[in-house]
Amino acid sequence: MIFDSADLAAIWLTVKLASVTTVLLLLLGTPLAWWLARTRSTWRGPIGAVVALPLVLPPTVLGFYLLVAMGPNGFIGQLTQALGLGTLPFSFAGLVVGSLLYSMPFVVQPLQNAFAAIGERPLEAAATLRAGPWDSFFHVALPLARPGFVTASILGFAHTVGEFGVVLMIGGNIPEKTRVVSVQIYDHVEAMEYAQAHWLAGGMLLFSFLVLLMLYGSRFRQGWQG
């Protein structure tokens, strides 16, 4: 076996984290992207900028603020403690919160672009056929935006798999809870276990390439819709 049990636990944890994050981001990101694509509010600029922040912020900034904010004296920590949940750092839930922020632009932006590309006409046509706003959203907008959802899911999942800095700063390296593949690779390298590091790192490289191939391969067939 090329992967030991700690490696396998890290792989499973990573898949779980990326899946939970992607599903939650699709649920939370869809209304947000819809709003961003269609609103004329003055808040559009500021909110759009906040969504894009994780693209440019170093993970250390995000990780540091999360560690402080989610700690016992931070505002998120105060809230979670008041709800009886304890504090979030060093827990799977904490990693999910971190990943939601970290991967948000990778889900929201493709959705926003897809919604914007639909334009007003199909929705106006639906309205003249007496479709209500919910009806036209689910039966007109969502199907038309399907390529955007595919792109958003793939990018959200892959980007969460590739997360490192934030997890390192708020995770605490706990097996089966917060030790994801990228951290496990880092540990192997630091412990000079280069052979094990190679297997995991090579696996990551292959995975990332295949994901992007899937994305770009389908885009060449369909044209750029993201």
Question: Which residues sit at the interface with other proteins, rule CB under 8 A?
Answer: 67-68, 70-73, 86-87, 89-90, 168-169, 172-174, 186-187, 189-192
- Least CB distance from residue 196 to other proteins, whole Å? 12
- Least CB distance from residue 168 to other proteins, whole Å? 6
Using CA atoms, how far apart are residues 192 and 187, in angstroms rounded to an integer? 8
**Cβ-based nearer residue to other proteins, 68 or 117:** 68
The residues near 10 (Cβ < 8 Å, ≥ 6 apart) are: 175, 179, 180, 181, 183, 184, 200
- Least CB distance from residue 210 to other proteins, whole Å? 28
- Least CB distance from residue 158 to other proteins, whole Å? 24
Using CA atoms, how far apart are residues 36 and 108, in angstroms rounded to an integer? 9
Phi-psi region of 12 (alpha: psi -120 to 50; beta: other; left: phi over 0): alpha
**Cβ-based nearer residue to other proteins, 64 or 207:** 64
**Cβ-based nearer residue to other proteins, 35 or 90:** 90
**Cβ-based nearer residue to other proteins, 191 or 210:** 191
Task: Using alpha carbons, list the distances in angstroms from residue 162 to 1, 201, 205, 225.
Answer: 24, 11, 10, 24
